[in-house]
Amino acid sequence: MGVSLVRIGIVGCGQAARVHLDRLLAEAEVTIVGCADPDPTAARALADRAESLGLGPVPEFGDHRELLRQTSPDALAIFTPHRLHYRTAMDALQAGAHVFIEKPLSTNLQEAADIVALARARGRKVGVGHQYRLAPALVEGRRRLSAGVIGPLRLVIATLARPWLTEIGRAEDAWRFEPDADGGGILADVGDHLVDALLWTTGQVAHEVGAIQDRRGPGIDVVTAAAIRLADGTPATLAISGVSPGPLFSIEYFGERGRLRATDESLVEDRPGAQAVEVALPPPGRSVDGDFIAALRCEGPLGCPAEEALDTVRLLEAIARSAATRQVVRLV
C-alpha cells in the first residue's frame, strides 16, 4: 500500500521557506497547495520554485486565511517573522489543519500555551522546527547523559555565537535583530536553538534564572548571558552572541566521572586520568520536515512537539525578563 498524499500550505515565503520547501518535497507524496505572503513577489517566487521541482500550478495568496479557506490543507507550514506565529497557527488549528512552525513556537508564553491548548482540543499535531535535536553530536550526547556515562551531572556550559550583527543591513533578515519588532531579537531567534538543546539533552526544565544583556543601537540585543538552575539543582550557564567573527556552538556537560563536549560536528568524552576521545556519532536522521510528515502519517513521533517547545519559550521569556528587571526570575 502506498503512502497517503499530504497537502501542505506555506505561509511566509522568505529564505527559511525556500530551505524547507526542498526538504518537504523530498518526502514521498507531499504536495504544496498554496504559498501565502504579504509580499506578492515572494509568494510568486516560492510558488515558481515549487512548480520547478515538479508540481503543477501552485497558487499564491496575500493572506494565510485566504489560503486556508480556498485550499483546506492537511497542514500549514509557518515561516513568518516570529511574532506572527501565534495568529497564523491559531487560525490554522481553527481551520482543522495540523501545523509546522519554524522555531520559536512563539515569543510569548501565554500565546504558546494557547497554541498547545487549542491543538490538544482539536486533536491536531503541532511540530516546531528545533533542528538541533537532529544533530548527531547532541543525539549521542543526550543518550550518554541519560545512561549516566559521565555520572551525575554537576554543571552545563552552553555557548552559541553568530556573526549576524555585520549582516544587519540585509533587508530580509533585519527584523531578526529588533527585540520590539517581529523577530524578538537574537535571544528569541538564534538563542531559541541553544535553549532547546540545553533542555532537551539534559531532559530537564529550568526552575530559576538570572540574566544580563548587552544592547546597542535601537535596542538590539547583541549578547545575552544567563545563569540557570535546572530542575534537579544543576547549574547551567548560557551565552548567546551576535558579534562573533565566526560561528560557534558548544555545550559542555560536567559530571562526577567525566565531561562531554558537543559541537556542531563532534562529541568529545573526557575522563580523569585518560586521554580525551572523539565519540563515534550516529548517522544524521531525517530532516525536521521529514519528521513532521512521518508524524502526520503516524509513522513516528514529532521531533519537537509544541508541548516540549513550551518549556523553551518559558525559559526564553524568563531570561528576557530577568535581563530587563535585573532580578532573578523563578519559573516555578
> Residue 164's pLDDT is what?
62
pLDDT of residue 96 exceeding 90: yes
Contact by Cβ (8 Å): 145, 253: yes
Q: Could you tell me which of 162, 216, 211, 214 has the C-alpha nearest to residue 317?
A: 211
The secondary structure of 85-131 as a DSSP string is HHHHHHHHHHTT-EEEEPSPS-SSHHHHHHHHHHHHHHT--EEE--G
Average pLDDT of every residue of the chain:
90
Picking from 160, 159, 153, the residue whose alpha carbon sits closest to that of residue 260 is 153
**pLDDT higher at 8 or 178:** 8
pLDDT value at position 182?
A: 47
- pTM of the prediction? 0.89
Phi and psi angles of residue 305, each rounded to the nearest 5 degrees, phi first: -70, 155
More confident residue, 1 or 187: 187
C-alpha cell read off for 167: 549582516
For the stretch 43-91, pLDDT in tens is: 999 999 999 988 889 999 999 999 999 999 999 999 998 889 999 999 9
Residue type, 169: G
Query: 322: which 3 cell numbers?
Result: 530577568
In the chain, % of residues over pLDDT 70: 90
Query: What is the total residue count of the chain?
Result: 332
285-312, pLDDT tens digit by residue? Answer: 789 999 999 999 999 999 999 999 999 9
The structural domains of the chain, ordered by start, are 6-131 (3.40.50.720), 132-285+304-330 (3.30.360.10)
Q: Cβ(173)–Cβ(167) under 8 Å? A: yes
pLDDT of residue 245: 73
pLDDT for position 65: 97
Where is pLDDT greater, at 243 or 9? 9
How far apart, in whole angstroms, are the C-alpha atoms of residue 137 and residue 129?
18
Say which amino acid occupies 100: F
Round the CA-based radius of gyration of the chain to a whole number and report it. 20
Structure confidence by residue, pLDDT tens digits, 223-242: 789 999 999 999 999 998 87
